[in-house]
């Protein structure tokens, strides 16, 4: 008799960034992961502000376009909120409690840990490991976010023609996606300190992993939008023209020394500053490797300049290096955007939990 395989329910990962909707769908044939669907659709400049959805209809319309462009038939989606929109707290509870008993106790005690009225937040928790202080207790990760943060994303997903199956946290989606790039890290990250640095359009996020698990997270305002604004000011063009010139090229000869080089140096400085915050607030004094992601890190020589500034080996993450592609996936576009798709990959990996 043939053994039964666990049935998995596919859903797409939808990364709602400040400037682009990114969609990824993966399957898992016997040989490994395969990219089934992919699309990236730009957002209007005023649709997102400070990581918050301002125009739900515009975001929903972009998601709808991404679904159509990708060709996916999947109607379930996983989406994430940023770390700044979430409160996390590790608490200790009796190890003898069932999941239902644990949930009931958390509901009673949650107001000790959450600085908002409980009716204004969504709560979730995850059992971690036995407490080091008391073997009869277990550590539990408590997670809370304002309802409006979740509801806006769920509404945008629904307006895009999908149903939100999972609402995750970006940092944990990145941790999940790390499994796709472990071969780029010494000893696959075991007993290694790995700095995953995502430089997006408006925000730079540092997630530090040890033994493949997140131990530190920090966000700071810096991203590719600053480069666009520098192009705009230096050449006296509109913001839209500057953005298009940045993507397609064709800028004057002085673009490299006058605009791009200073921006790269500032990006390396921002990365170094993030790491210094990590070192000063933990017992760690070095990282074994830096993994770069986000659309902004694809500018020429970014990894080399960051490595020279920090002294840590630095590579650009490519989650698709060992994957096959469905025939409808545009390979050139996918690999061009690969470093910016880590969060979307981590979200679609929830299909296999």
pLDDT tens digits, 175-201: 999 999 999 998 988 999 999 999 998
Mean pLDDT of the chain: 91
Confirm if 174 and 343 have CB atoms less than 8 A apart.
yes
Residue with tokens 């990760």: 141
Residue with tokens 């949650």: 110
Q: Is the pLDDT of residue 1 over 50?
A: no
- The C-alpha angle 204, 205, 207, rounded to 5 degrees, equals 155
Confirm if 201 and 224 have CB atoms less than 8 A apart.
yes
Report helix, strand or coil for 261. Answer: helix
What mean pLDDT do residues 222-236 have?
93
Q: Is the pLDDT of residue 2 over 80?
A: no
Higher pLDDT, 83 or 257: 257
Within 10 Å of residue 193's Cβ, how many Cβ atoms?
20
Name the phi and psi angles at 199, rounded to 5: -110, 105
**pLDDT tens profile 120-168:** 999 888 888 888 888 889 988 888 999 999 999 999 999 999 999 999 9
> How many Cα atoms within 13 Å fall on the side-chain side of residue 250?
7
The percentage of the chain sitting over the pLDDT mark of 90, rounded to a whole number, equals 66
Of 35-39, 127-131, 323-327, where does mean pLDDT reach its minimum?
127-131
Confirm if 314 and 289 have CB atoms less than 8 A apart.
yes
Instruction: Provide the pLDDT confidence category of residue 8 given band limits of 50, 70 and 90.
Output: low
Q: Is the pLDDT of residue 6 over 50?
A: no
What's the chain's Rg over C-alpha atoms? 21
Q: Is the pLDDT of residue 30 over 80?
A: no
Q: Is the pLDDT of residue 269 over 60?
A: yes
Please give the model's pTM, rounded to 2 decimal places.
0.91
What mean pLDDT do residues 43-68 have?
92
**Which residues partner with 24 through β-bridges?**
13, 38
Q: Is the pLDDT of residue 223 over 50?
A: yes
The percentage of the chain sitting over the pLDDT mark of 70, rounded to a whole number, equals 98
Check residue 186 and give its pLDDT: 87
Query: Strand 52-53 and strand 48-49: pairing?
Result: antiparallel
Check residue 118 and give its pLDDT: 85
Higher pLDDT, 265 or 127: 265
């Amino acid at each position: 008799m043939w053994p039964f395989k666990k049935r998995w329910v596919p859903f797409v990962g939808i990364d709602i960034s400040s400037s682009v909707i990114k969609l990824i769908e993966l399957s898992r044939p016997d040989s490994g992961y395969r990219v089934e669907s992919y699309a990236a659709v730009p957002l209007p400049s005023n649709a997102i502000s400070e990581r918050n959805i301002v125009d739900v209809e515009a975001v929903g319309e972009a998601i709808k376009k991404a679904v159509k462009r990708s060709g996916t038939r999947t109607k379930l989606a996983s989406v994430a909120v940023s770390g700044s929109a979430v409160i996390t707290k590790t608490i200790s509870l009796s190890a003898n409690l069932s999941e239902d008993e644990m949930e009931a106790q958390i509901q009673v005690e949650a107001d000790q840990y959450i600085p908002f009225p409980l009716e204004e937040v969504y709560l979730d928790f995850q059992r971690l490991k036995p407490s080091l202080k008391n073997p009869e207790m277990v550590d539990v990760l408590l997670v809370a976010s304002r309802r409006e943060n979740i509801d806006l994303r769920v509404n945008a997903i629904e307006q895009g023609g999908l149903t939100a199956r999972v609402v995750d946290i970006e940092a944990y989606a990145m941790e999940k996606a790390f499994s796709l790039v472990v071969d780029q890290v010494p000893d696959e990250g075991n007993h290694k300190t790995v700095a995953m640095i995502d430089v997006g359009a408006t925000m730079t996020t540092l997630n530090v992993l040890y033994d493949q698990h997140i131990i530190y997270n920090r966000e700071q305002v810096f991203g590719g939008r600053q480069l666009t604004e520098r192009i705009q000011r230096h050449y006296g063009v509109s913001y839209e023209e500057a953005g298009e010139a940045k993507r397609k090229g064709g800028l004057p000869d002085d673009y490299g020394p006058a605009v791009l080089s200073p921006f790269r140096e500032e990006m390396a400085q921002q990365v170094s500053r993030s790491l210094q915050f990590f070192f000063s607030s933990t017992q760690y004094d070095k990282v074994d490797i830096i993994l770069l992601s986000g659309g902004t890190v694809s500018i020429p020589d970014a990894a080399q300049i960051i490595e020279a500034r920090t002294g840590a080996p630095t590579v650009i993450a490519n989650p698709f290096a060992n994957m096959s592609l469905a025939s409808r996936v545009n390979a050139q576009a996918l690999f061009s955007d690969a470093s910016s798709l880590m969060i979307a990959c981590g979200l679609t990996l929830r299909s296999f939990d």
